[in-house]
Amino acid sequence: MIEVRSLVFDYPGKRALKEVSFSLRQGSITALVGPNGAGKTTLLRCLAALEEPVSGTILLDGRDILADPRATHRQIGYLSDFFGLYEELTAQQCLDYAALSHGVDPETQPDWILSCARQLEIDGKLNQKAGSLSRGQRQRLAIAQAIIHRPRLLLLDEPASGLDPESRHSLSLLFRRLQEAGMTLLVSSHILSELEEYCTDMLVLQEGRIIDNTPLVAREEQALFELRVAEALPDLENALLQLAGVEIVRVNQGSALISCSSDPARQHELLREMIAGGLRVCAFGQSKQNMQDVYLRTVQGDRQKGVR
């Protein structure tokens, strides 16, 4: 669907994206996560052909979007983190303008607008001015504008920021519906627990580099384990690093959260190795894996590599 190769983007005095390469599967919902300043918004803007990178290629279904940005805008929808609406227009006029300016056929336009408004649950607000809508309704209207032309790829930058829990939940349901309708979504957010509800893939960006791009389903072959030792051990981290197939998520002198194979036989083997190695294990149990842990594990693992 989307293939990015060796993307480099510079701001004056700073390289924001460093040889970024990854691909997105058709019909996936990918979480784009990373610390502040990692380059997430820059990457989304490059994908939306709003910024021109120094070098690299972005292919949308094999077509280079940098070679002809205007042609690909028909297939891409983008919601910026600081989206704007024409406050003095009604929601209906906002959607009319979005549809017309995205080349929606005037004959099908009323149906598309109505169906989009229903999908976003703003069909009852179409005659209200955008400026009079609540934060959640404005967010929905902005998303409706971004998908009015039924894009194949939807890029969303912090779409849930400022929304209450109920609105966030319905946003999650909406993203799933869009995915079921065949759309591919790339969602940048800091709220990992929420991304977990609907994301199928995770793309971790750190200091302008992609450090992980694995489908989340594959992670189920791994499991997280909470480990406790009977007495504080200053060298616990080093001891765990000696064990094959173990990744440390977090560690202190008395406990650790580690990632290892979800195979019970391998877990048994691992426990035996730890005890044989002199670790006074008093608790070893599976911990619920969540995106937060996966993210932290990835980011910290990358930092450890950097230190070494």
Partner 1 sequence: MSNNPEFRKNVWLELSGYRVIGMPLVIGSVLFLAYVSNARKFGAEISQTAGSLYFLITVLWGTKLAAESIMNEIREHTWDGQRMSVLTPWQLVLGKLFGSTIYTWYGSSICLAFYALSVPDTPYARILETVFSLVFAGILGHAVCLLASLLSIQKERKFVKSQTTAILLLGIVAVTPFVSLVFSREKPATWFGNSYGGPEFVLLSTAAFAAWTILGVYQLMRRELQMKNSPVSWFAFVLFMMIYLAGFLYGAKPGAGFEGINPAILVAFYVPLGATYLMAFIERKDPVTLRGVEQLVRERKAGAFLQKAPRWLLTAPLVAVMAVVMVAGNASNGTILKTAAFVFAVLLFMVRDLSVMLFLNLADNNRRAELLNVLYLVMAYAIVPIIVEAVHGDMATVLFWPITTQPLFLVVVAPLVEMAAALFLLSGRWRRKVAAVRG
Residues that bind partner 1 (CB under 8 A): 10-15, 48-50, 52, 54, 69-70, 73-74, 76-78, 80, 82-89, 93, 97-98, 100-103, 145
Min. distance of Cβ 36 from partner 1 in angstroms? 20
Contacts of 7 (CB under 8 A, 6+ apart): 17, 19, 20, 21, 43, 46, 53, 55, 56, 57, 58
Which of 66, 239 has the CB closer to partner 1?
66
Min. distance of Cβ 73 from partner 1 in angstroms? 5
Which of 185, 224 has the CB closer to partner 1?
185
For 30, phi then psi, to 5°, come to -105, 130
Which of 14, 25 has the CB closer to partner 1?
14
Min. distance of Cβ 17 from partner 1 in angstroms? 12
Min. distance of Cβ 47 from partner 1 in angstroms? 11
Which of 162, 277 has the CB closer to partner 1?
162
Which of 145, 184 has the CB closer to partner 1?
145
Min. distance of Cβ 193 from partner 1 in angstroms? 27
Which of 183, 274 has the CB closer to partner 1?
183
Which of 69, 301 has the CB closer to partner 1?
69
Min. distance of Cβ 205 from partner 1 in angstroms? 17
Dihedral sign for Cα atoms in the order 142, 146, 149, 151: negative
Among 158, 144, 147, 174, residue whose Cα is nearest residue 31? 158
Min. distance of Cβ 188 from partner 1 in angstroms? 15
